[in-house]
Amino acid sequence: MCQGIYPILLPQGSIVGIDTVRINTNLGLVPNPAQGQVKVEADCAIRGVDLVDLMGHNCLSRTFSGKGQSVTLDVGSLPRGYYTVRVNTLHGILIGKLLLE
């Protein structure tokens, strides 16, 4: 099993939700693992970010103006563990993994 962060762009407006996958889109989660704050960086404008725990619960949801390519999230109140990060951009959705310590 390969470890690491593998961003995937899921285009919006497709019939089944996924019709192409773009792997060359960059998603940065810094630092990772994180404790108090995490910076989310993408190569296109960010409209929203969701953090989902391993049970599928949406633990954090933020919306943005869609003008910036990086946002900082306060994750200090969330429990330690692994989270899926869903980043809604102007060009689709990026998925990453985040460890909170």
Whole-number pLDDT of residue 101 = 92
Reduced to 3 DSSP states, what percent helix, strand and coil does the chain have, rounded to the nearest 5?
0, 50, 50
The single residue listed with the structure tokens 């889109």 is 25
Whole-number pLDDT of residue 80 = 95
pTM, full prediction: 0.73
**Model pLDDT for residues 39-83, shown as the tens digit of each residue:** 999 988 899 999 999 999 999 999 988 788 889 999 999 999 999
pLDDT band at 21 (very low <50, low <70, confident <90, very high): very low
Question: In 10 A of CB 44, how many CB atoms?
Answer: 16
- pLDDT exceeds cutoff 70 at 9: no
Which two tokens mark 31? 């630092």
